[in-house]
Protein backbone atom coordinates (compact mmCIF):
# COMPACT_ATOMS: atom_id res chain seq x y z
CA UNK A 1 0.00 0.00 0.00
CA UNK A 2 1.33 3.43 -0.94
CA UNK A 3 1.53 6.09 1.82
CA UNK A 4 -1.03 8.34 0.12
CA UNK A 5 -3.52 5.45 0.05
CA UNK A 6 -3.10 4.65 3.72
CA UNK A 7 -6.12 5.99 5.65
CA UNK A 8 -3.98 6.73 8.71
CA UNK A 9 -1.55 8.74 6.55
CA UNK A 10 -4.43 10.67 4.96
CA UNK A 11 -5.80 11.51 8.40
CA UNK A 12 -2.36 12.72 9.43
CA UNK A 13 -2.23 15.14 6.47
CA UNK A 14 -5.60 16.67 7.32
CA UNK A 15 -4.70 16.85 10.99
CA UNK A 16 -1.42 18.61 10.21
CA UNK A 17 -3.16 21.20 8.03
CA UNK A 18 -5.71 21.78 10.79
CA UNK A 19 -2.92 22.17 13.36
CA UNK A 20 -1.23 24.86 11.28
CA UNK A 21 -4.55 26.59 10.75
CA UNK A 22 -5.20 26.68 14.49
CA UNK A 23 -1.64 27.85 15.17
CA UNK A 24 -1.91 31.00 13.04
CA UNK A 25 -5.23 31.80 14.73
CA UNK A 26 -4.00 31.28 18.31
CA UNK A 27 -0.33 32.31 18.11
CA UNK A 28 -0.04 35.90 19.38
CA UNK A 29 2.63 38.35 18.31
CA UNK A 30 3.44 38.86 22.01
CA UNK A 31 1.51 37.29 24.90
CA UNK A 32 1.58 40.52 26.97
CA UNK A 33 2.30 43.61 24.88
CA UNK A 34 0.67 42.62 21.56
CA UNK A 35 -2.01 39.98 22.29
CA UNK A 36 -3.09 39.84 18.66
CA UNK A 37 -3.07 36.66 16.58
CA UNK A 38 -0.69 36.52 13.63
CA UNK A 39 -3.48 35.79 11.17
CA UNK A 40 -5.64 38.58 12.62
CA UNK A 41 -2.87 41.07 11.87
CA UNK A 42 -2.45 39.68 8.36
CA UNK A 43 -6.20 39.88 7.82
CA UNK A 44 -6.23 43.48 9.06
CA UNK A 45 -3.62 44.36 6.42
CA UNK A 46 -5.67 42.50 3.81
CA UNK A 47 -8.88 44.37 4.76
CA UNK A 48 -7.04 47.69 4.63
CA UNK A 49 -5.70 46.81 1.18
CA UNK A 50 -9.18 45.79 0.00
CA UNK A 51 -10.52 49.13 1.26
CA UNK A 52 -7.87 51.00 -0.68
CA UNK A 53 -8.45 49.02 -3.88
CA UNK A 54 -12.22 49.44 -3.58
CA UNK A 55 -11.96 53.21 -3.33
CA UNK A 56 -9.82 53.59 -6.44
CA UNK A 57 -6.33 52.66 -5.22
CA UNK A 58 -3.96 55.54 -6.02
CA UNK A 59 -6.87 57.65 -7.37
CA UNK A 60 -8.76 57.58 -4.03
CA UNK A 61 -9.69 60.99 -2.61
CA UNK A 62 -11.39 59.82 0.58
CA UNK A 63 -10.73 61.61 3.83
CA UNK A 64 -9.20 59.71 6.70
CA UNK A 65 -12.46 59.31 8.63
CA UNK A 66 -14.41 58.19 5.55
CA UNK A 67 -11.64 55.73 4.76
CA UNK A 68 -11.94 54.29 8.29
CA UNK A 69 -15.71 53.94 7.87
CA UNK A 70 -15.21 52.13 4.57
CA UNK A 71 -12.68 49.86 6.27
CA UNK A 72 -15.34 48.86 8.83
CA UNK A 73 -17.88 48.28 6.04
CA UNK A 74 -15.49 45.92 4.28
CA UNK A 75 -14.80 44.13 7.57
CA UNK A 76 -18.34 43.81 8.95
CA UNK A 77 -20.55 44.29 5.88
CA UNK A 78 -21.03 40.63 4.95
CA UNK A 79 -21.73 39.43 8.49
CA UNK A 80 -24.14 42.32 9.07
CA UNK A 81 -26.22 41.19 6.09
CA UNK A 82 -26.80 37.84 7.78
CA UNK A 83 -28.43 39.17 10.87
CA UNK A 84 -28.59 42.28 12.98
CA UNK A 85 -30.83 44.16 15.34
CA UNK A 86 -29.14 47.43 14.46
CA UNK A 87 -31.52 50.41 14.05
CA UNK A 88 -30.84 50.92 10.35
CA UNK A 89 -31.21 47.29 9.29
CA UNK A 90 -33.76 45.59 11.55
CA UNK A 91 -33.72 41.80 11.75
CA UNK A 92 -32.04 41.05 8.41
CA UNK A 93 -32.12 37.36 7.49
CA UNK A 94 -31.18 35.58 10.73
CA UNK A 95 -31.92 38.29 13.30
CA UNK A 96 -28.57 37.91 15.10
CA UNK A 97 -26.87 40.76 17.00
CA UNK A 98 -24.80 43.11 14.85
CA UNK A 99 -21.17 41.87 14.86
CA UNK A 100 -19.79 45.41 14.95
CA UNK A 101 -21.50 45.93 18.33
CA UNK A 102 -19.84 42.83 19.78
CA UNK A 103 -16.27 43.32 18.51
CA UNK A 104 -14.68 46.42 20.08
CA UNK A 105 -11.19 44.86 20.03
CA UNK A 106 -11.48 44.08 16.32
CA UNK A 107 -12.53 47.67 15.61
CA UNK A 108 -9.48 49.00 17.45
CA UNK A 109 -6.96 46.59 15.87
CA UNK A 110 -8.22 46.92 12.30
CA UNK A 111 -8.50 50.72 12.58
CA UNK A 112 -4.96 51.07 13.94
CA UNK A 113 -3.55 48.89 11.17
CA UNK A 114 -5.43 50.92 8.55
CA UNK A 115 -4.20 54.21 10.03
CA UNK A 116 -0.60 52.98 10.08
CA UNK A 117 -0.75 51.84 6.45
CA UNK A 118 -2.36 55.13 5.40
CA UNK A 119 -0.03 57.36 7.39
CA UNK A 120 3.24 55.69 6.48
CA UNK A 121 2.51 55.18 2.79
CA UNK A 122 2.88 51.41 3.08
CA UNK A 123 -0.68 51.00 1.82
CA UNK A 124 0.11 52.72 -1.48
CA UNK A 125 3.35 50.74 -1.73
CA UNK A 126 1.32 47.54 -1.43
CA UNK A 127 -1.04 48.80 -4.16
CA UNK A 128 1.90 49.44 -6.48
CA UNK A 129 3.28 46.00 -5.69
CA UNK A 130 -0.11 44.40 -6.40
CA UNK A 131 -0.48 46.16 -9.74
CA UNK A 132 3.09 45.52 -10.90
CA UNK A 133 3.68 42.97 -13.64
CA UNK A 134 6.41 41.13 -11.75
CA UNK A 135 4.86 40.74 -8.27
CA UNK A 136 1.13 40.97 -8.99
CA UNK A 137 0.65 37.21 -9.18
CA UNK A 138 2.48 36.61 -5.89
CA UNK A 139 0.33 39.17 -4.09
CA UNK A 140 -2.83 37.62 -5.58
CA UNK A 141 -1.87 34.18 -4.29
CA UNK A 142 -1.02 35.48 -0.79
CA UNK A 143 -4.29 37.43 -0.57
CA UNK A 144 -6.26 34.39 -1.77
CA UNK A 145 -4.64 32.25 0.94
CA UNK A 146 -5.49 34.76 3.68
CA UNK A 147 -9.06 35.11 2.39
CA UNK A 148 -9.53 31.34 2.17
CA UNK A 149 -8.42 30.65 5.76
CA UNK A 150 -10.30 33.60 7.32
CA UNK A 151 -13.51 33.16 5.35
CA UNK A 152 -13.65 29.40 5.88
CA UNK A 153 -13.32 30.03 9.61
CA UNK A 154 -16.17 32.57 9.48
CA UNK A 155 -18.34 30.23 7.40
CA UNK A 156 -17.74 27.41 9.87
CA UNK A 157 -18.64 29.59 12.84
CA UNK A 158 -21.81 30.87 11.17
CA UNK A 159 -23.08 27.83 9.24
CA UNK A 160 -21.96 25.08 11.59
CA UNK A 161 -22.48 26.84 14.91
CA UNK A 162 -24.85 29.80 14.95
CA UNK A 163 -27.29 28.61 12.30
CA UNK A 164 -27.52 25.12 13.81
CA UNK A 165 -28.36 26.73 17.16
CA UNK A 166 -31.06 28.97 15.69
CA UNK A 167 -34.30 28.80 17.72
CA UNK A 168 -36.32 28.10 14.56
CA UNK A 169 -35.77 24.42 13.65
CA UNK A 170 -36.58 25.11 9.99
CA UNK A 171 -33.67 27.57 9.84
CA UNK A 172 -31.35 25.39 11.90
CA UNK A 173 -31.73 22.40 9.56
CA UNK A 174 -31.96 24.26 6.26
CA UNK A 175 -29.18 23.63 3.76
CA UNK A 176 -30.45 26.61 1.72
CA UNK A 177 -29.91 28.99 4.66
CA UNK A 178 -26.37 27.69 5.14
CA UNK A 179 -25.69 28.08 1.42
CA UNK A 180 -26.88 31.71 1.43
CA UNK A 181 -24.88 32.41 4.59
CA UNK A 182 -21.68 30.99 3.10
CA UNK A 183 -22.16 32.98 -0.10
CA UNK A 184 -22.74 36.27 1.73
CA UNK A 185 -19.86 35.79 4.18
CA UNK A 186 -17.42 35.21 1.35
CA UNK A 187 -18.83 37.48 -1.37
CA UNK A 188 -21.22 39.94 0.26
CA UNK A 189 -18.98 43.02 0.15
CA UNK A 190 -19.08 43.43 -3.68
CA UNK A 191 -22.90 43.37 -3.49
CA UNK A 192 -22.88 46.13 -0.86
CA UNK A 193 -20.28 48.15 -2.76
CA UNK A 194 -22.32 48.04 -5.98
CA UNK A 195 -25.54 49.00 -4.17
CA UNK A 196 -24.10 52.04 -2.37
CA UNK A 197 -21.49 53.02 -4.99
CA UNK A 198 -18.65 52.54 -2.53
CA UNK A 199 -16.13 52.29 -5.38
CA UNK A 200 -16.33 56.03 -6.06
CA UNK A 201 -12.78 57.50 -5.80
CA UNK A 202 -14.30 60.83 -4.74
CA UNK A 203 -16.28 59.19 -1.93
CA UNK A 204 -19.70 60.14 -3.34
CA UNK A 205 -21.69 57.27 -1.88
CA UNK A 206 -25.36 56.94 -2.79
CA UNK A 207 -28.06 54.30 -2.91
CA UNK A 208 -28.70 53.25 -6.51
CA UNK A 209 -30.09 50.24 -8.32
CA UNK A 210 -27.16 47.79 -8.21
CA UNK A 211 -25.83 46.62 -11.58
CA UNK A 212 -26.17 42.96 -10.52
CA UNK A 213 -29.96 43.37 -10.47
CA UNK A 214 -29.97 44.50 -14.09
CA UNK A 215 -27.39 41.97 -15.20
CA UNK A 216 -27.49 38.70 -13.23
CA UNK A 217 -24.28 37.50 -14.86
CA UNK A 218 -22.42 39.90 -12.54
CA UNK A 219 -23.27 37.51 -9.69
CA UNK A 220 -21.08 34.81 -11.24
CA UNK A 221 -17.90 35.62 -9.34
CA UNK A 222 -15.71 33.26 -7.36
CA UNK A 223 -16.08 34.85 -3.93
CA UNK A 224 -19.86 34.37 -3.89
CA UNK A 225 -20.09 30.86 -5.30
CA UNK A 226 -16.92 29.69 -3.60
CA UNK A 227 -18.40 30.60 -0.21
CA UNK A 228 -21.62 28.75 -1.05
CA UNK A 229 -19.63 25.68 -2.09
CA UNK A 230 -17.57 25.73 1.12
CA UNK A 231 -20.74 25.98 3.22
CA UNK A 232 -22.21 22.93 1.48
CA UNK A 233 -18.96 20.95 1.76
CA UNK A 234 -18.57 21.72 5.48
CA UNK A 235 -22.22 20.86 6.15
CA UNK A 236 -21.90 17.51 4.42
CA UNK A 237 -18.61 16.67 6.12
CA UNK A 238 -19.76 17.47 9.66
CA UNK A 239 -23.39 16.29 9.59
CA UNK A 240 -23.98 13.00 11.37
CA UNK A 241 -27.36 12.55 9.71
CA UNK A 242 -26.25 13.12 6.13
CA UNK A 243 -28.09 10.08 4.79
CA UNK A 244 -31.34 11.11 6.50
CA UNK A 245 -31.13 14.78 5.45
CA UNK A 246 -29.80 14.19 1.97
CA UNK A 247 -31.07 10.80 0.76
CA UNK A 248 -30.11 11.64 -2.81
CA UNK A 249 -26.37 11.54 -1.95
CA UNK A 250 -24.52 8.32 -2.86
CA UNK A 251 -23.33 5.97 -0.14
CA UNK A 252 -19.71 6.37 1.04
CA UNK A 253 -17.19 4.69 -1.24
CA UNK A 254 -15.40 1.62 0.18
CA UNK A 255 -12.14 3.55 0.59
CA UNK A 256 -13.94 6.36 2.47
CA UNK A 257 -15.65 3.80 4.67
CA UNK A 258 -12.27 2.18 5.35
CA UNK A 259 -10.82 5.59 6.22
CA UNK A 260 -13.66 6.33 8.64
CA UNK A 261 -13.33 2.93 10.22
CA UNK A 262 -9.56 3.31 10.70
CA UNK A 263 -9.75 6.84 12.12
CA UNK A 264 -12.72 6.40 14.44
CA UNK A 265 -12.50 2.62 15.04
CA UNK A 266 -16.14 2.12 14.08
CA UNK A 267 -18.15 -0.76 12.85
CA UNK A 268 -18.22 -0.56 9.05
CA UNK A 269 -22.01 -1.00 9.03
CA UNK A 270 -22.64 2.05 11.27
CA UNK A 271 -20.43 4.50 9.38
CA UNK A 272 -23.43 6.15 7.76
CA UNK A 273 -24.58 7.58 11.12
CA UNK A 274 -21.26 9.32 11.90
CA UNK A 275 -19.90 12.64 10.55
CA UNK A 276 -17.29 12.24 7.86
CA UNK A 277 -14.87 14.66 9.57
CA UNK A 278 -14.61 16.61 12.83
CA UNK A 279 -14.98 20.37 12.65
CA UNK A 280 -11.26 21.24 12.65
CA UNK A 281 -10.48 18.97 9.69
CA UNK A 282 -13.59 20.20 7.87
CA UNK A 283 -12.27 23.76 8.21
CA UNK A 284 -9.02 22.67 6.58
CA UNK A 285 -10.90 21.11 3.66
CA UNK A 286 -13.04 24.25 3.33
CA UNK A 287 -9.99 26.50 3.27
CA UNK A 288 -8.42 24.43 0.49
CA UNK A 289 -11.63 24.42 -1.55
CA UNK A 290 -12.08 28.19 -1.23
CA UNK A 291 -8.42 28.83 -2.02
CA UNK A 292 -8.79 26.92 -5.29
CA UNK A 293 -12.01 28.81 -6.12
CA UNK A 294 -10.30 32.18 -5.52
CA UNK A 295 -7.32 31.22 -7.66
CA UNK A 296 -9.45 30.41 -10.71
CA UNK A 297 -10.25 34.06 -11.65
CA UNK A 298 -6.62 35.00 -10.98
CA UNK A 299 -5.47 32.43 -13.53
CA UNK A 300 -8.16 33.50 -16.02
CA UNK A 301 -7.06 37.14 -15.77
CA UNK A 302 -3.45 36.16 -16.31
CA UNK A 303 -4.29 34.11 -19.38
CA UNK A 304 -6.43 36.85 -20.90
CA UNK A 305 -3.83 39.54 -20.33
CA UNK A 306 -2.11 40.30 -23.64
CA UNK A 307 1.56 39.50 -23.55
CA UNK A 308 3.96 42.16 -24.66
CA UNK A 309 6.11 41.16 -27.59
CA UNK A 310 9.54 42.78 -27.44
CA UNK A 311 10.12 45.06 -30.39
CA UNK A 312 13.10 44.45 -32.57
CA UNK A 313 15.28 47.44 -33.22
CA UNK A 314 14.54 48.96 -36.60
CA UNK A 315 17.17 48.34 -39.21
CA UNK A 316 18.85 51.41 -40.59
CA UNK A 317 18.25 51.97 -44.25
CA UNK A 318 21.33 51.58 -46.39
CA UNK A 319 22.46 54.66 -48.16
CA UNK A 320 22.50 54.35 -51.93
CA UNK A 321 25.36 55.95 -53.75
Would residue 87 count as lying in a domain?
yes
Residue 202 has pLDDT above 60, yes or no: yes
Residue 138 counted as domain residue = yes
How many structural domains are present in the chain?
1
Is the model's pLDDT at 33 over the cut of 60? yes
- Answer yes or no: is pLDDT of 88 > 60: no
Which structural domain range is residue 104 located in? 3-239+275-303
Task: Give the residue, 38 or 141, on which the prediction is more confident.
Answer: 141
Residue 308, in any domain of the structure = no
- Who wins on pLDDT, 111 or 160? 111
Q: Identify whether the C-beta of residue 48 lies closer than 8 Å to the C-beta of residue 113.
A: yes
The pLDDT value given to residue 208: 86
Give the pLDDT band of residue 252 (cuts 50, 70, 90): low
pLDDT digits (tens, 9 = 90+) for 292-302: 999 999 888 87
pLDDT digit string, tens, across residues 144-176: 999 999 999 888 887 777 888 888 888 888 888
Averaged confidence pLDDT in the chain: 78
- 257 falls within a domain: no
HEC string of 37-77 equals EHHHHHHHHHHHHHHHHHCCHHHCCCCHHHHHHHHHHHHHH
3-17, 112-126, 166-180, 226-240: segment of lowest average pLDDT: 3-17
The answer to which of 39-43, 169-173, 209-213 has the lowest mean pLDDT is 169-173
pLDDT in tens, 115-144: 999 999 999 999 999 999 889 899 999 999
Q: Per-residue confidence at 268, pLDDT binned at 50, 70, 90?
A: very low
Does residue 168 form part of some domain? Answer: yes
In a domain, 319, yes or no: no
- 245 inside domain: no
Indicate whether 258 belongs to any domain. no
Amino acid sequence: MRPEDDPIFSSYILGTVADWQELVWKQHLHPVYIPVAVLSLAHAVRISHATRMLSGAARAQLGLFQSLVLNMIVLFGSSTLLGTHAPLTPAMLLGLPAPILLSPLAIVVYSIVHLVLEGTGLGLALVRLHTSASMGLVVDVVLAAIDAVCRSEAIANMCLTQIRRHPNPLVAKSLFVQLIAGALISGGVPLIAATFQLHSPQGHWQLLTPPWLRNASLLMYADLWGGALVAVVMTLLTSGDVEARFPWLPRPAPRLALWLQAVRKLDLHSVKNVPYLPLREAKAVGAVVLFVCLLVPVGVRRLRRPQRVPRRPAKKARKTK
